[in-house]
Amino acid sequence: MKKSIILAFVLFIGIATTQAQVSVSPGLRGGLNLSRLTNIDDNGLKSDFYVGGFVAIKFNKFFTLQPELTYSRQGSEGRYYDINDNYYSTKYELNYLSLDAVAKFHFNGSGFHILAGPSADFKTSDNFNQYGFDPIDFDLSLVGGVGYTLPNGLTFEARIKQGLIDIYGYDGIYDDNENGNYDEVILNQVFQIGISYTFKVK
């Protein structure tokens, strides 16, 4: 009886191993960023780009885990007030190097997929010093989106990236009565449209 159980267990492990056709493939991605900062005067979408690479770890036809390294140029259109209370339109620039861990779920094993995951964003540069401001060097974001992958490895995707940390590092802005004014917290928001290509590794 014990031998039968051990034999069955060995057979199960063997079958599971052959069915788990994990593949690892590198790729490149890039596209258009339409970004804005919440709760700034006259905020509008700033158009720029993102570019990077990734490794697609495909566990089966339904699920892929995709670590990514991306250079993302973000920021916002906005309004700046000088010391004389005069204002003019400007572009706020916030550029990040992002480490993402994106999970992709393929519908019925087809090319159409939804995706979601966290992003750790490390600031590489900004132009806020000319306005007397100093954003912090880190943001944590959530990414979500949809896409379609062709059989040749070319993928078209649309993503939304929502920052979770105030760009100045505030846990919350408080008024004189210590009430949290969370509608004044300044967060990154980015809409991305782009393409990627996954190289086939034999």
Which CATH number does the domain housing residue 172 bear?
2.40.160.20
- Which pLDDT band, with edges at 50, 70 and 90, does 183 fall under? low
In terms of pLDDT, which residue wins out, 101 or 108?
Answer: 101
pTM for the model = 0.83
CB 74 within 8 A of CB 33: yes
- Which pLDDT band, with edges at 50, 70 and 90, does 25 fall under? very high
Has residue 32 been placed in a domain? yes
pLDDT at res. 15: 42
Lowest model confidence (mean pLDDT) among 16-20, 47-51, 154-158, 159-163: 16-20
Residue 117 predicted with pLDDT over 90: yes
Note down the domain range covering 119.
22-198
The number of folded domains in the chain is 1
Mean pLDDT of the chain: 87
Four-residue CA torsion sign, 180, 181, 183, 187: negative
What is the helix (H) or strand (E) element at residue 66, kind and residue range? strand 63-81
Has residue 9 been placed in a domain? no
